[in-house]
Amino acid sequence: MILPALLLLAALTAASNDHLTVHTRTGIFTGLLNPDFPLVREFRSIPYAQPPVSSRRWLPPAPLPDSNATHYATNFPPACPQYVSSKPTVFSNIVPEFFIWDGNENTTAGLMAQSSAEDCLQLAIWAPANATNLPVLLFMTGGGFKTGGINVPYQIPASWVSRTQSHIVVTINYRVNIMGFPNAAGLDDQNLGILDQRAALEWVHENIPHFGGHPAAITLWGQSAGSISTDFHTYAWHDNLIARATFSQSGTALKPLDNHDHAHTNFTFVAKHMGCDFPHNPAAELDCMRQVSVNRIENFVGQYADSGTTPSLVFTPIADGKIVFSDYPSRAENGLIANTPAIMSNCANEAAALYTYPSTNATAGPWQPGVNAATLKDWLCVTANTSIVRCNAGRKTYRYQYAGNFTNVSPFHWMGAYHSSDLTMNFGTYPDFRGVGTLLERTTSEAMQDYLLAFARDPERGLEGMGWQAFEPDAGDGGFMKRFGADGRAEQNVTGVEVQGVCWGEGTYDPFP
């Protein structure tokens, strides 16, 4: 046992002496070794664009200048401004580990999150102690384009990076809700949150070699809103994606947009209530709104939503013909989609965490037929249609369904494999909050991690080398899919008909396979 201890000590010494301070074009950053996984270096707060504050509020992210300034990247940055709803949900009341966290957050505060702020365009990097030319996964968090950020307990990849010692994970903040998708008449660019994501990807591509990553081996990965965003990127930058592969986890660009306010009435409505009543002078409206505190804006928008007042206010991506489009199938048909492989996935009981449930009787759970209908309409069938669009365009696509129902992640059986629950498998965080987990849970997580790493290493051949075939919807059985965590098995091969045949009227849907 002496030799492994000496090797660990040597690795820690090397990491401490040589790799915790990294020089990039935009600054010098000193990180730390993860307290629980000491072979993992963490750089928790690295700016990737200029702060979007004051006169830069509601403008596209601006590149950072060259700098030799020294920074300690040992604390997580604030998330971008967001509101913590007072309404009880599965995430606020049952699994708050999917929320941004500062150690003392009230998950039903009815106020702007205390761990959020405007100066938020930062990213975090997890890398092995001695990394060289490793594949990189850049992860974009979900949250309905309204919430999310880096410091989410279930989305910390330290244990996964420690386990493999052969890849790097980057997670990012990007602007959300009215700060990220203002849709204001006085602006040329409305989808600022998507532009933030692109700026982060560009920074990583330029600077990740200093952390031991390979700039030509980046996989762009997102979940929910981040997953939809990932697919947006494949169209918006179809001729220069930067990433060589994508992973869209519960959500694609074909999911119908909520925002159709092309008259910009929502922003003007908020501006009027902030004392910025310039309905016929968009420049004055913006100038005035840039003087209003972000807390006041966030609290008004959030409390208005909590009140249930109609019409509702929507600040999410809008089709602008530049970054977000209204007809993705036609763009794919015309080749305006990146020619890169993709993994696309769903959870078996996706909508269970998003459907109204009896918070005073949580054991009862929501109305399952309604959950099934929402799972199909909003998630599974959208992904199924996206897969067909991609395959018709000749873009290689791999598909999986996560179906694990583990009690430490799903405390009530009716939750099943709910929206976001597979993140605990990808990141390896399933044992962190409610027990160590089962053997099946561990083998499921490791199988999912190993497939994702194989894809990141070689998007064209890595999965097929492990027996995971590309999805072909025209196959007689509806195509090849993987299913993880169901029926006492870490993984199994299933058919497209079995998983999503119901989208075309074949059979019935099983949310607990």
Q: Is 224 a catalytic residue?
A: yes
* Burial 274-312, CB ≥16 within 10 A → b, else e: bebebeeebeebbebbeebebbebbebbbebbeeeeeee
**Catalytic site residue from 224, 229, 410, 445:** 224
Q: Is 419 a catalytic residue?
A: yes
> Residue 405 and residue 422: Cα distance in Å, rounded?
10
Residue 272, CA distances (Å) to 48, 111, 305, 309 in order = 33, 20, 17, 17
Asked whether the beta carbons of 368 and 413 are under 8 A apart, the reply is: no
Structure tokens at 147: 């919430």
Q: Which helix (H) or strand (E) holds 246?
A: strand 245-249
Asked whether the bond before 311 is cis by omega within 30 degrees of 0, the reply is yes
**Catalytic site residue from 350, 387, 410, 445:** 350
Q: Is 19 a catalytic residue?
A: no
Asked whether the beta carbons of 82 and 148 are under 8 A apart, the reply is: yes
Query: 399 - beta bridge partners?
Result: 344
Q: Which residue shows structure tokens 């999805």?
A: 471
Q: Which three-class secondary structure string do you get for 215-245?
A: EEEEEEEEECHHHHHHHHHHHHCCCCCCCCE
Residue 430, number of CB atoms within 10 A of its CB: 26
| Identity of the residue numbered 218 | I
Nearest C-alpha neighbor of 172 from the set 194, 149, 143: 149
Q: How far is CA 485 from the centre of its chain?
A: 21
**Catalytic site residue from 92, 345, 419, 445:** 419
Active-site amino acid positions: 224, 350, 419
